[in-house]
Amino acid sequence: MGVVEKATEYHLGLLKAKLARYRAQLLEPTSKSGPAGTGFDVQKSGDARVALIGFPSVGKSTLLSKTTHTASEAAAYEFTTLTAIPGVIEYKGARIQLLDLPGIVEGASQGRGRGRQVVSTAKTADLILIMLDATKSDEQRRLLEYELDAVGIRLNKSKPDVVFKKRTTGGITFNTTVKLTKTDEKTIRTILAGYKLHNCDVMIREDHSLTSPTGTRKYIPCLYVYNKIDAVSLEQVDKLARQPNTVVISCEMDLNLSYLIDRMWEELRLVKIYTKKRGAHPDLSDPICLRKGATIEDVCNGIHRSLAANFRYGLVWVPVDFYL
Ligand SMILES: Nc1nc2c(ncn2[C@@H]2O[C@H](COP(=O)(O)OP(=O)(O)OP(=O)(O)O)[C@@H](O)[C@H]2O)c(=O)[nH]1
Ligand SMILES: [K+]
Ligand SMILES: [Mg+2]
């Protein structure tokens, strides 16, 4: 890299970091600026939360009513749904909370309509279903991705292998195990100063263009769900279904809905854990459901809050083809 390119690269890096910070502030205002950055006040329940995000009238409420015992009003006019409506999908012993949300439009992240509340609620989900109308242009998909990106949601991306550990003193210590080609130490130090982080340990194990300290971003899996396939040609359905992370359905005709739930279960990476008393068979009707990667401590907490503190050892049985 030449001197000029290097300088350009540096300034571009800072500019991107600044933009990322302003956007984050936009959605998470400090106490005085009111509740704009908060989502709908719906209690999380069950083993995982799935949020339905989409333009008006793509069929979000119809899906909720079809897959849960909760009825959410569906109609042919836009913005039928005005608040978050939770339902429960019971599947393979797990209880999955499905959240029906108002439709969003372009500019949602900037506060248009209830958009900001909707995208903030999406941030609390373990899986996002981006619901699309198969009869409409694919532009909708790009717009929705943009709105979610604007509030710091990264879809189907893994969290960069970077650790920031805040300290009270000692300045910034910087360690990296890989060669950084998309940013450099100077840029990262300036970004940290922008976040008023003057004391912290930074450990980078992945070549990543870091524009903000980790923790300000949410990495959430996402399924693209094309509804109303009853209204398009078979060729069109075929084309849509072949895209990655995509499921095609028709709520009205009950097409592929159980497959969608299957895929949701997979994406949530839920695992069932059964407990047993010494010498007795496990109670296979009452599993503890946790997400893959859960620890023994999580299992303890799933049983009782006080258990982990007094826990000494446990025996774990897993199927031969199981990996955590
Ligand atoms: N052809 C067809 N129409 C559907 C299907 N699913 C839903 N609809 C229709 O689409 C319209 C909108 O459905 P809703 O469930 O209200 O859509 P929504 O996404 O919740 O809409 P908002 O709450 O306004 O954002 C209704 O007239 C439904 O009957 C489907 O699979 N095929
Ligand atoms: K509607
Ligand atoms: Mg609705």
Distant-in-sequence, close-in-space partners of 320: CB < 8 Å, separation ≥ 6: none
pLDDT attached to residue 26: 55
Give the span between the Cα atoms of 186 and 169, in whole angstroms: 20
Point out the ligand 1 atom lying closest to the alpha carbon of residue 135. Answer: 1
pLDDT attached to residue 24: 59
Evaluate: CB of 3 within 6 angstroms of ligand 1: no
pLDDT attached to residue 35: 47
ipTM of the predicted assembly exceeds 0.90 = yes
Query: In this structure, are 275 and 318 located in the same domain?
Result: yes
- Residue 136 located in a structural domain: yes
pLDDT attached to residue 215: 64
**In degrees, to the nearest 5, what angle opens at C-alpha 39 toward C-alphas 162 and 217?**
10
**In degrees, to the nearest 5, what angle opens at C-alpha 81 toward C-alphas 77 and 85?**
155
Ligand 1 pocket test, pick from 40, 52, 57, 112 with the greatest ligand atom count within 8 Å of Cβ, gives 57
What is the phi/psi pair of residue 222, to 5°? -145, 140
pLDDT attached to residue 31: 39
Query: In this structure, are 114 and 262 located in the same domain?
Result: yes
- Residue 25 located in a structural domain: no
Query: In this structure, are 93 and 148 located in the same domain?
Result: yes
Q: At what angle do helices 3-27 and 115-122 cross, to 10 degrees?
A: 110
Query: In this structure, are 107 and 254 located in the same domain?
Result: yes
pLDDT attached to residue 5: 79
Query: In this structure, are 181 and 57 located in the same domain?
Result: no
Q: If DSSP codes are grouped into helix, strand and coil, which group holds residue 197?
A: coil
Q: Which of 98, 96, 97, 118 is nearest to 109 (CA)?
A: 118
Query: In this structure, are 112 and 133 located in the same domain?
Result: yes
Query: In this structure, are 236 and 92 located in the same domain?
Result: yes
Evaluate: CB of 230 within 6 angstroms of ligand 1: yes
pLDDT attached to residue 113: 59
Query: In this structure, are 230 and 300 located in the same domain?
Result: no
pLDDT attached to residue 213: 72
pLDDT attached to residue 324: 52
Q: Of the residues 213, 232, 257, which one is the last residue of a structural domain? A: 213
pLDDT attached to residue 34: 41
Question: For residue 227, what is the domain's CATH number?
Answer: 3.40.50.300
**In degrees, to the nearest 5, what angle opens at C-alpha 115 toward C-alphas 25 and 35?**
50
- Residue 113 located in a structural domain: yes
For the chain (length 324 residues), average pLDDT per consecutive 10?
77 79 55 55 91 96 98 91 94 93 85 80 96 95 92 90 88 92 90 88 88 78 97 96 97 96 94 87 84 84 86 84 62
Give the span between the Cα atoms of 290 and 134, in whole angstroms: 33
Query: In this structure, are 236 and 264 located in the same domain?
Result: yes
Query: In this structure, are 130 and 228 located in the same domain?
Result: yes
Query: In this structure, are 261 and 152 located in the same domain?
Result: yes
Is residue 57 within 8 A of residue 102, CB to CB? The reply is no
Query: In this structure, are 180 and 202 located in the same domain?
Result: yes
> What separation in Å is there between the alpha carbon of 200 and the centre of ligand 1?
50
- Residue 5 located in a structural domain: no
- Residue 106 located in a structural domain: yes
Evaluate: CB of 251 within 6 angstroms of ligand 1: yes
Ligand 3 ion: nearby residues, β-carbon < 5 Å: 60-61, 80-81
- Residue 190 located in a structural domain: yes
The domain in which residue 126 lies consists of 48-71+83-157+217-268
User: Residues 108, 110, 114, 117: is their CA dihedral positive or negative?
Assistant: positive
Provide the domain count of the chain: 3
Evaluate: CB of 63 within 6 angstroms of ligand 1: no
- Residue 291 located in a structural domain: yes
Evaluate: CB of 57 within 6 angstroms of ligand 1: yes
pTM as predicted: 0.80
Structure-token pair, residue 268: 């949530």
- Residue 248 located in a structural domain: yes
